Amino acid sequence: MKTIIHVNQHHIKKNRGLDNGDTLPVLTVKTYNSNRYAHAAKIIDSDGRELAKIVYRPHAPLSCGAHCWIETQCEVEVSGDPEA
């Protein structure tokens, strides 16, 4: 089943002034028959192994300032990379 994970930029902006416990979920995990809302999501394979996770940490961003990012131990293939 196809799943789309949408990052809601409007919720990220609204959350900037809210307390940690009051933040809106910034991820929407969509399938043809459901929408689930979350602050984090794991992408797992058919054997239950974690391939990647999407992290949202508004009160502990990365040093570059990012509040939402994807982490993986897998190799990442990039297309359209000007340095490739």
Averaged pLDDT for residues 57-83: 89
Residue 41 predicted with pLDDT over 70: yes
Q: What is the pTM of this model?
A: 0.81
Token pair listed for 42: 């794991």
Which contacts (CB < 8 Å, 24+ apart) does range 8-13 have? 12/56, 12/58, 12/67, 12/68
Angle (CA) 10 61 80, round 5°: 70
pLDDT band of residue 68 (cuts 50, 70, 90) is: very high
Averaged pLDDT for residues 62-66: 93
Which contacts (CB < 8 Å, 24+ apart) does range 38-47 have? 41/5
Taking residue 24's Cβ as centre, other Cβ atoms within 10 Å add up to: 13
The answer to whether 24 and 11 have CB atoms below 8 angstroms apart is yes
pLDDT at 1: 87
